[in-house]
Structure 1
């Protein structure tokens, strides 16, 4: 590859080489040991979490490198035959720290595109990937720009990896401080022309980098064009590697075990907030970093509010509780929904609606193959719901097929599912019209929601809201339910409730 500019730029820096390694020296019975401190877990400091050669738990340096290679290959393929394009420059900023007030930060969560290609977990960083138009094999040079070591800030916020630590952790080709980003991009512009700048300027992830540095790069017009890399990123992220599948399986297992414990914790007059806290505790104690999203914990008729997250009411005897929750484990999310009777026993109308929902869900799961798209599964879900609701008399048998579909959509106003991965509603640029592919993970989550003031429905069904959701891995053969260990048959749920202490 021509113009490996990081090597040239290194020679122009006022301080050549990496920052000094920061070590803590421990003395125990006259033995001196030094170990490197990083801004994130590493095999040297967290051997219980990360194996040698991994950047984040379960994901190796080699896999992160291969992801970058695939990104470059996709870009080169896009511009194949465009002779005026000479190079490609990819820019992925990290998230920044958000503050609830003054110096009190919200819990930090890394930008998932940046994380997917680097594995670096510190805020206010940036990944830069260089390649040329001949990189059909994905050859590239990767750089991380990271916050400089600052003892005064590290006293308050914890250690930073620094430039040397970033290389040791991730295996990128070079690392600089973020203060050098502007100079580096100026140098790149001086050395290159007619390159494609891959940067999502329409939705900037890091406002400070964007307004202070990256907007100016876009104005310099040395590039041939500016392209949004997000769609290419999402196409790669949608297909999970074996290591990613393992992490998602473990995330689903943790959420499943937590759901069972939360069911056992349920009692008439329990506060929704207490079930939320129980789910959060059970996920964290099993190794999850946090819940993947604010959960829905909806007792009784509040289950008919699809995204109810107030979670502050008391659940009375005889009501169902609908919980939509999942956890995030090492960057990968689970997303489950279960509905159960807080008293321990389903009533007859609750059973009828629940089993109808469950039959629809199981039928949809069987259709999770490369013959269907999410939109096609949604249509199948509506047909199946219409049939079940007609059988229960909730939809009039004499209704036309079109009317039945409209009414099915009234009683289930949301889609059948979504892509799942590093984000809960993952890879948002992926069309739901696209056929499913092996190694995708999706949710299947039909529901039946009947408002208590819907007088078109028999009184015994009014006020009931039910949803059942699982995480499904698409394979070359039958779909695999990653959350199959979470009970959802009525007999299983009532058995768990009966075993409460």
Structure 2
């Protein structure tokens, strides 16, 4: 295998591939993403992405190689650019596995990892027209100098170099979600695939991403803090502006003003009966006086996301029916959080939540009995999921897997009663979810979203004592623009 590496390296010398390499001068070089030199307010020296050092990226690659079978090869393509119209792209978000291994936040690249190679990166080449319209991008030189690849080539040489690497491997792993024809159509790839020797790499990358490092946890705590602050201000805003779209805009504004690059997902802002739609996203209705609003929000900070939900009455007080249901969800939330510890599993916590909710809904009179088939209509969701670089992170890890320190999960019990539900009329059209982020620690848990109120008295006090007059100076202007 070493001979193959030497053969490939000799065939394509650095002089051949670097060509128009951007050499460092006194002028700061734009590589298409922030660096300590171009963005000292974001990155410290020695970091490839904010908060994550070169050493940590190299350690991730080493750990992945330790998981991969001997004489195997891993191929990870960057996320594709998705178009909104013929010339307008959606905002680009890098594939989490590609970012986790390389630190590259840009499209167009392919990373290859092997025991005999280390990390090889195939990078896009910037054309003058593209640079004029879209700006500079990372190339071969950046892959070597910034991302610390062991070898790098232009993407156009992929079809010349990769086949020999694949032929020298007995098994191949790749990220199925971002797989591209450029390597899948290679004869060498097809040959291994026909022998059932091609597998999904995420079985290993999700295992690594499941337990967060101290640096990752710092970013996740910051992301959670931003989302909590933003949602708190949005709750105060809701009494003056009880419109789903305005609350969605408010929370996004507050997140980005605090440093978030984007929302983790389109905010769920369900007023009244819309709150009973689990992933409601239209956000186009006025919230009626006396109705609850359910807001499920999260933001992304340097590759790490937050996810939390609060439900409250913008008018400032819960009705008796709303309070009954809210108390049940709140108690379930708190009991399930207390179950979070090393050795427990999401499945165990979920089963406990089902028992609590079924019993509570029966006592209230919404369900006829425990084990009623109607329960799954009122709550079709699981108690939670793993959280990290993606909202539903590390999905290859079973919910039966015992939790370990460094794992972050959500705890999000809820009840979603549609207006058409055959049951007591006073509960119809009510949707309630209370979601917290929970870090598993050596001794138990830490709630990362504890700063956002969830007790009824706290919420009512907040809305009635602190939201008066917020934005009133421009309220008449907002009414005019929304009419």
User: What's the TM-score, normalizing by structure 2?
Assistant: 0.91
> When you count strand as a share of all residues, which structure comes out higher?
1
* Matched residues, number: 466
Aligned to 1:369: 341
Offset at residue 159 of structure 1 (A): 0.8
* Shift in CA distance, 51/456, structure 1 to aligned 2, threshold 3 Å: same
8 Å Cα contact 1:50/1:58 also seen in 2: yes
8 Å Cα contact 2:171/2:192 also seen in 1: no
The 3-state SS of whatever aligns with 1:16 is: helix
2:442 matches 1:476: yes
8 Å Cα contact 1:299/1:321 also seen in 2: yes
2:20 matches 1:43: no
8 Å Cα contact 1:91/1:129 also seen in 2: yes
Structure 1 CA distance for aligned equivalents of residues 40 and 357 of structure 2: 49
Structure 2 CA distance for aligned equivalents of residues 172 and 239 of structure 1: 24
2:59 matches 1:70: no
8 Å Cα contact 2:17/2:154 also seen in 1: no
2:371 matches 1:402: yes
Runs of at least 4 residues of structure 1 off by over 6 A?
Answer: none
User: Aligned to 2:242, which of 270, 280, 283?
Assistant: 270
8 Å Cα contact 1:376/1:433 also seen in 2: yes
8 Å Cα contact 2:159/2:183 also seen in 1: no
2:279 matches 1:295: no
User: Tell me, which stretches of 5 or more residues in structure 1 are unaligned?
Assistant: 26-32, 80-86, 133-139
Structure 1 CA distance for aligned equivalents of residues 288 and 99 of structure 2: 43
8 Å Cα contact 2:220/2:306 also seen in 1: yes
Structure 2 CA distance for aligned equivalents of residues 156 and 173 of structure 1: 31
The 3-state SS of whatever aligns with 1:322 is: strand
2:182 matches 1:198: no
2:309 matches 1:332: no
8 Å Cα contact 2:223/2:300 also seen in 1: yes
* Shift in CA distance, 57/393, structure 1 to aligned 2, threshold 3 Å: same
* Shift in CA distance, 67/487, structure 1 to aligned 2, threshold 3 Å: same
User: Tell me, which stretches of 5 or more residues in structure 2 are unaligned?
Assistant: 470-483
Structure 1 CA distance for aligned equivalents of residues 30 and 4 of structure 2: 30
Structure 2 CA distance for aligned equivalents of residues 169 and 340 of structure 1: 47
8 Å Cα contact 2:411/2:437 also seen in 1: yes
For residues 394-434 of structure 1, what are the alpha-carbon distances to aligned partners after superposition, in whole Å with 9 as ceiling and x for unaligned?
A: 334xx3x434xx44433222110111111101112221122
Between 283-292 and 442-451, the greater mean CA deviation after superposition: 442-451
Offset at residue 23 of structure 1 (A): 7.1
Aligned to 2:233: 261
Structure 2 CA distance for aligned equivalents of residues 106 and 487 of structure 1: 34
Instruction: State the Cα RMSD in Å.
Output: 2.2
User: Aligned to 2:328, which of 333, 356, 376?
Assistant: 356
For residues 175-227 of structure 1, what are the alpha-carbon distances to aligned partners after superposition, in whole Å with 9 as ceiling and x for unaligned?
A: 111011111113435xx535322224xx351434245x5x4331355999323
The 3-state SS of whatever aligns with 2:371 is: helix
* Shift in CA distance, 24/9, structure 1 to aligned 2, threshold 3 Å: closer
Structure 2 CA distance for aligned equivalents of residues 175 and 123 of structure 1: 16
Structure 1 CA distance for aligned equivalents of residues 339 and 28 of structure 2: 52
Structure 2 CA distance for aligned equivalents of residues 194 and 446 of structure 1: 47
8 Å Cα contact 1:304/1:451 also seen in 2: yes
Offset at residue 495 of structure 1 (A): 2.3
User: Aligned to 2:90, which of 106, 112, 121?
Assistant: 106
Structure 2 CA distance for aligned equivalents of residues 24 and 154 of structure 1: 19
8 Å Cα contact 1:446/1:467 also seen in 2: yes
Aligned to 1:144: 121
The 3-state SS of whatever aligns with 1:492 is: helix
Offset at residue 488 of structure 1 (A): 1.1
Aligned to 1:209: 182
